[in-house]
Amino acid sequence: MFFLRKRNKAKIIPRAEHCLSRRDIDPDALKVLYRLASLNYDAYLVGGSVRDLLLGRAPKDFDIGTDARPNEIRHNFKNCFLVGKRFRLAHIVFGKKVIETATFRKAPNPNAVQDEHGLYQSEDNTFGTPQEDALRRDFTVNGLFYDIKTFSIIDYVGGLKDLQDKCIRSIGDPCIRFREDPVRMMRAVRFAAKLGFDICPNDIKAMKKFAHELANASISRICEEIQRLFVHGATERSIRLAYEYGLLDNLLPSLAKWMHESKEREAKVWASLNALDTLAQTQEVSNAVAFAMLFQPFVAETAETIRAKNAGKRSNLNHLRRIAAERVLTPIVKYYRFPRALWMTAVDILELSDRFTNRPEATSSRDVRFINHGLFPEILQGAEAFKHLFPNLSWQIDAWKRLYRSAGPAARHEADGDFVPPVNPHSRKARRRRPRGRRKPRAGAPAKQTAEASAPTQG
């Protein structure tokens, strides 16, 4: 089907028949498009921005496709940098904004590069036509182009119909496309959650069959995509789809295994993520809060198990929660090398959120220290999510917010011009600031071997 479509002509939708207006395109992206067009190159808006604009959503970024070669782009834009080794991309920079401009790429050639498993190994570094560029993209709704010369939409892949039908469908055979790049399965789930679309049955079938291929994907890409599954306001749906289609078993096996054991556990995870989505309706939620909410039921149960095992001994529940959070999260974090600030903050949120069930005291140095802690805003946000999850507890969040306003970093900043606002103590910036001196050996720790002593002896 994929390669029959390739011979099909493009569907061209003139300006009068679609809703994508230049007014909604970023002015700097427009400048790049116009300049390329004035130099007689093809210049298309491509990918997610066309999809989002046709749906009336604000795109995250604006990518451009062109037949100009990377060097030609660089010659014509002073503010252009070429990046990438295998395939050179032009980054056209406007202040902090980057407009990614890519030369059209070729689709993989099935005859030349089919491997012993029937997979098409794509040679990503060969230039191609606009049609070939559309066909190498992941989903039909991501394969649409907007032509700046005619203001029309060019559809080589049936993306417009799928946009209307609210359907995520791979371009070509999903069994091949998902094995070529297993991360596409995570992208399918993310787009379905973010756009409120369904994934087409063929793609679901392929996902269930090839979810295990995620083990072959690069760990850094998976780490990034797991964080992108925390879709703003729709995390419950994206994690639920990932769980239903078997992706979660391969991404976060300990969590998925724990959930499979009872419906009650599943329901707790969905409730926790729903609380997160409710919070996201009113504010931008950090990934650490999302991470904490995803694992909260698992960590809470683990803490209870540890408490039951230590029955009779005096134990502080906060401390147990920290031990449980570290026990649950450490293997995952080590495997994917999640940013330290992300998971340490999540552990702190899991440990400390219930401090917000007590009223703060402006005279308590402990409470004032807490609001001036670099993590306070995120722990507070975590507590707000917990408030939606445990509405029966008497949360004192407003009182803490008042104290934060009156005695927190901003108030101190006003009173004392030299004051440096606190940073997340787990962030790289904070760690860089820490003095580097040699650590004192712990009492009882074995003495470190010298180079001489550790050198292998001969004979």
Nearer to Mg ion, 61 or 132 (CB): 61
Q: What is the C-alpha to C-alpha distance for residues 379 and 350, in angstroms, rounded to an integer? A: 8
| Residue with the shortest CB distance to ligand ATP | 48
Q: Which does 408 bind (CB under 5 to 8 A by kind): Mg ion, ligand ATP, none?
A: none
Cβ burial of 274 (10 Å; 0-12, 13-18, 19+) is: middle
The residues with which 153 forms a beta bridge, in sequence order, are: 13, 146
Of all residues in this chain, which one has the CB nearest to Mg ion in the complex? 48
Contacts to Mg ion from residues 36-55, by CB under 5 A: 48
Count the neighbouring beta carbons within 10 Å of the beta carbon of residue 447. 7
Q: Give the number of residues in contact with Mg ion, rule: CB under 5 A.
A: 2
181 binds, among Mg ion, ligand ATP, none (CB under 5 to 8 A by kind): ligand ATP
Q: Is 61 in the site for Mg ion (CB under 5 A)?
A: yes
Task: For the CB of residue 11, give the shortest distance to Mg ion in the complex, in Å.
Answer: 23
Q: Is 9 left (phi over 0), alpha (psi -120 to 50) or beta?
A: beta
Residues 6+ away with beta carbon under 8 Å from 119:
176, 179, 180
Mask: binding to Mg ion, 181-200, rule CB under 5 A, as x and -?
Answer: --------------------
The option from ligand ATP, Mg ion, none interacting with 438 (CB < 5 to 8 A, set by class) reads none
Element (H, E) at 179: helix 174-180
Q: Give the nearer residue to ligand ATP in terms of CB position, either 137 or 387.
A: 137
Contact 324, 296 (CB under 8 A): no
203 is a catalytic site residue:
no
Q: In Å, how far from its chain's centre is CA 108?
A: 27
- Active-site entry in 24, 26, 28, 61: 61
**In the complex, what is the shortest distance from the CB of residue 63 to ligand ATP, in angstroms, rounded to a whole number?**
6
Please, which residue, 220 or 330, has the CB nearer to ligand ATP? 220
Radius of gyration (C-alpha) of the chain in whole angstroms: 26
Q: At closest approach, how far in Å is the CB of 60 from Mg ion?
A: 5
247 contact partners, CB below 8 Å, separation of at least 6:
185, 186, 189, 207, 211, 214, 241
* Closest distance to Mg ion from the beta carbon of 49 (Å): 7
Does 354 help bind Mg ion (rule: CB under 5 A)? no
Q: How far apart are CA 69 and CA 29, in angstroms?
A: 18
List the single partner that 266 binds among ligand ATP, Mg ion, none, CB under 5 to 8 Å by kind: none
Among residues 49 and 170, whose Cβ is nearest to Mg ion? 49
Q: Which is nearer to ligand ATP, 198 or 224 (CB)?
A: 224
> C-beta of 187: minimal distance to Mg ion in Å?
11
Active site annotation includes 398 = no
Residue ranges binding ligand ATP (CB under 6 A): 47-48, 60-61, 63, 137-138, 142, 181, 183-184
Question: Element (H or E) spanning 98, and its range?
Answer: strand 97-103
* CB-neighbour burial class of residue 429 (10 A; exposed 0-12, middle 13-18, buried 19+): exposed
65 binds Mg ion (CB under 5 A): no
Q: How far is the CB of 48 from Mg ion (least distance, A)?
A: 4
Choose, from 42, 52, 138, 155, the residue flagged as catalytic. Answer: 138
Residue 408 CA to residue 215 CA, distance in Å, equals: 45
**Active site residue: 52, 63, 133, 203, which one?**
63
CB of 144 to ligand ATP, least distance (A): 9
Sequence-distant (6+) residues with CB within 8 A of 433 are 423
138 counts as catalytic: yes
Q: Is 33 helix (H, G, I), strand (E, B) or coil?
A: helix
The residues in 222-251 that bind Mg ion, with binding defined as CB under 5 A, are none
- Using CB under 5 A, list all residues that contact Mg ion: 48, 61
What residues are annotated to the active site?
61, 63, 138
